[in-house]
Structure 1
Amino acid sequence: MAKSPLGIIFAAAALALAVSPEARKAARQLAVKGAEIVLELADQVKDRTRELPTVEATNNVENDTEHLLLP
């Protein structure tokens, strides 16, 4: 029975995590770093979108300029 290379990689990783405490420690550290990066990116997106004007504010500005341009 032929196995895919990806399946072999996952099996080897699972075996290494099951046997080696150092591998588990490294995997935990990578997971924490990954979560930290994802949370930091989410905060940056929130900050950037908070700075954008709302649709209502944009419409109000457009309506105000239309009234100023009309004779």
Structure 2
Amino acid sequence: SWERYKSLLRKCPNHGFDDVAQLNMFCNGLRPQTKMLLDASIGGSMMMKDSEEAITIIDALTANDYQAHHDRS
């Protein structure tokens, strides 16, 4: 969902949302179970991280998930 979200933002480059607003929209759009997994994987609430750290964490989790799916093939 993170990659799809970033793709949507790239399609609208003049959206005007700063990183904090983008992260809020992304996290608030997650299903409760997914949000709990995200929070658990970082050892706390994603919303307590600064935007740069949160984006780095989500990018790393996405890359790990992508790699895990391709390793199974």
Give yes or no for TM over 0.5: no
Q: TM-score scaled by structure 2?
A: 0.35
Which has more helix, going by share of residues?
1
Q: TM-score scaled by structure 1?
A: 0.36
Greater RCO (Cα-Cα under 8 Å, separation 6 or more): 2
